[in-house]
Chain A
Amino acid sequence: MNNIENSVILVVDDDHDIVNAIAALLEREGYSIRKAYNGLEAVDALMREDIQLILIDIMMPKMDGLSAMMKIRTMKNIPIIVLSAKSEDSDKILGLSMGADDYITKPYNPMELVARVQSNLRRYLSLGAADSVKKSSVLRIGGLSLDRDEKQVYIDGEPVKLTATEYKITELLMENAGRVFSAEEIYSRVWNEDSYSVENTVMVHIRHIREKIEINPGDPRYLKVVWGIGYKISRE
C-alpha cells in the first residue's frame, strides 16, 4: 500500500472536536482517518488496523502520548507526529527523542499540518527505498537532500528551486552540518570576495532559502539562525 492518497492516519486526542476537525481536514486531502481518544485506544487501534501515520497528542487520560509512543515504537516503524500544546523547546526535544518524527504545536496552522503529514508520509512510503541507494554525491540531512551532480536540492523528495547563490550556501552548510558559519565566512566562500558589511546580504539569502525549504520558515527545521553569531544546518 504505497499510495500516499490512500494512507490511513490515526488521530489521537482527548479533545473530540480537535480529532473531528483534523479528521475533516485530512479527509479533504483524501486520507482515511482512524480516531482514538487516549493512548490505550491508540495502541489498540494500531494492533487492529494497518495504519501509515499517527498524529498524537501528549496530554491525554489513561495513557499519555509519550507512553503510547514508546509502546508503538516497539511494534511499528510508522511516522509519528506529535501534536501538542506544549511549545517549549524542552518539550519538543523530549517528544522527538522519545520516537516522534515531527512535532507540531497547537494551535497549529491547518496548512502546515497537512504539509507535515504529507512530508512524513512521503518519506516513509516513497523515499524508503531510495534511502537504501546511497549516492556519494547526495548529501542527506533528515528530509533534506542535496544532489551535487544535479545541483538540485530536494525536500522530502520534492525538488526545490534554488538560485545558484542559494544552492551554494545550502551546499556549504550541509557539507559542514552542525557547524556555525558567520556571515563573513559564508560570503567569502560563496561569493569568493572580501567581505565587508555583508550581514544583510547573507541574511536575506538565508531567509529566502528558508522560505523555500522549510515548511514553517518562522520555526525552521533545517536552516537555523544562530542569533548574534551566524548560521547553520543542524545535523538531525
Chain B
Amino acid sequence: MSFEWPWQYNFPPFFTLQPNVDTRQKQLAAWCSLTLSYCRHRKLYTLDVMEAQESPVFNNKKIERKLSVEAIQVVFEELRKKGNLEWMDKNKTRCLIMWRRPEEWGKLIYQWVSRNGMVNSVFTLYELSNGDDTESEEFHGLEEWMLLRSLQALQTEGKAEIISMDDGKGVKFF
C-alpha cells in the first residue's frame, strides 16, 4: 500500500512558509494533516526534527524542495497546539506524535478485549502490542509509551487498571 501524497506536495511554494496570514493558516493545516497521515501510514510514533528534514514528507526529491528546520518547527508547534504532538526534550529536537489520541487507542484496545471475551483478564503490555493474538489488530506494534497512555485513558474511565510490578507492567480490563 503506497502512500498517497496530496496535490500540494508537488507544488513548490508549499515548501516555503507563506507570509500572508490566511494562506499560511491553510498551508499549516495542510502540513499538519500531511504529517499525521504520513506517520499513520508508516506507523511512526516518534519524530526527530533533524531526521524529519530528510524524510520524504518534508523533503520532496522529485521537485527538489524541502521544508526548512524552522518551518518544520512551526508545523510541529501547530501540531502540538492541536494535541497531536508532544516534545520529548526541552530543546524541541524529538517529539512524540499522536496521529490517534490515547483515548481512541484505548477504545480500540477495549473493543478488541471485549470482542474476545477477555474482560476481567490480565495482560502484559508486551502481549498487547507484540502478542500473536493481536497480530491483525491496528494497535499491534504500538509503542509502549503510547500503549501506556491509552491504558491510562481507559483507567480514568474505570475500564482498566494498570498493574506495576518489579519487572514490567500489566493491565487488567474490567
Partners in one complex: no
A residues touching B (Cβ–Cβ < 8 Å)?
none
